[in-house]
Amino acid sequence: MPTSAPEPLLQVSALSTGYGKIEVLHGLDLTVGAGEMVALLGPNGAGKTTLLRAISGLLPKSGRVHFAGRDLSAASPRDMVRAGLVHVVEGHRVFTQLSVFDNLLLAGYGMPRREREGKVEEALAFFPEIAAKRNDRAVTLSGGQQQMLAVAQGLVRHPRLLMLDEPSAGLSPVLVDRVLAAAGRLRDAGTAILLVEQLIEKALLLADRVYALVRGSIVLEAAGSAPNLPKRLEEAYFGQPQPPLAAQG
């Protein structure tokens, strides 16, 4: 007798949102399984960051967001973090005048002190490069190290799902590889990851599944190992019929 597939950790259904009267996302459906890395790819302006902001409660939306079996469609960002979903926004958002260790303590604000310190040590264990600088101010870190610190901040809450918005942005190729390798280790340790990334080839090396987002709509879903996927992604990006000029406003 066939068994039913397990319920996804994250299930987004018919999600639409935007800014003011401008709708950016149009009825999106997306899932992420427990312990799975899903890459969300697409050209600039496709709505990738907007989607992460909507999922994490930073933007109002219509549609449904189910996480870990709960309907969290109307949840606040704080509610989402408490449920186990952490959003690491684009850019190296760290407190530059605080030490590495204090940045991580602050990320665990509100947790019991002993538990918080334990989670900080667990987060640092994923990033030996910044663990060695635990007492240094964040301003002294390189761009890649600051990005590692930003990801480590998200880990302090021990999330079931970590959403990473372009963690490679502004980094040298060597640092990109280090940051994305850390994301791969997190997935291997059981943390589900929803990854927004412009570096398609590197994302495909890590991702279990891929979604392509173009002009606010999902136009492709495939396994990360699917044949000819880079070509299919290119066709999805640029092969969409263009609306008449009058419709473009």
What was the pLDDT predicted at 4?
Answer: 53
Closest to 85 in 3D by CA, of 161, 195, 10:
161
Is residue 223 a part of any domain in this protein? yes
Is residue 29 a part of any domain in this protein? yes
The dihedrals phi and psi of 220, each to the nearest 5 degrees, come to: -160, 140
Three-state secondary structure along the chain?
CCCCCCCCCEEEEEEEEEECCEEEEEEEEEEECCCCEEEEECCCCCCHHHHHHHHCCCCCCEEEEEECCEECCCCCHHHHHHHCEEEECCCCCCCCCCEHHHHHHHHCCCCCHHHHHHHHHHHHHCCHHHHCCCCCEHHHCCHHHHHHHHHHHHHCCCCCEEEEECCCCCCCHHHHHHHHHHHHHHHHCCCEEEEECCCHHHHHHHCCEEEEEECCEEEEEEECCCCCHHHHHHHHHHCCCCCCHHHHC
Would you write out the chain's pLDDT as a tens digit for each of its 249 residues?
445 567 899 999 999 999 988 999 999 999 999 999 999 999 888 999 999 999 999 999 999 999 999 999 999 999 999 999 999 987 768 999 999 999 999 988 888 888 889 989 988 988 888 999 999 999 999 888 898 899 899 888 889 999 999 888 878 888 888 888 888 888 998 999 999 998 888 999 999 999 999 999 999 999 999 999 988 988 888 775 434 333 333
Q: Would strands 70-71 and 62-67 be described as parallel, antiparallel, or unpaired?
A: antiparallel
Is residue 27 a part of any domain in this protein? yes
Q: pTM of the entire structure?
A: 0.86
CATH of the domain at 164: 3.40.50.300
What was the pLDDT predicted at 249?
Answer: 34
Is residue 59 a part of any domain in this protein? yes
Is residue 151 a part of any domain in this protein? no
Contact between residue 200 and residue 233 where contact means Cβ atoms under 8 Å apart: yes
Is residue 217 a part of any domain in this protein? yes
Is residue 114 a part of any domain in this protein? no
What was the pLDDT predicted at 175?
Answer: 80
Q: Domain range for residue 210?
A: 10-92+159-239
How many domains is the chain partitioned into structurally? 1
Is residue 126 a part of any domain in this protein? no
Terminus-to-terminus CA distance in the chain, angstroms? 55
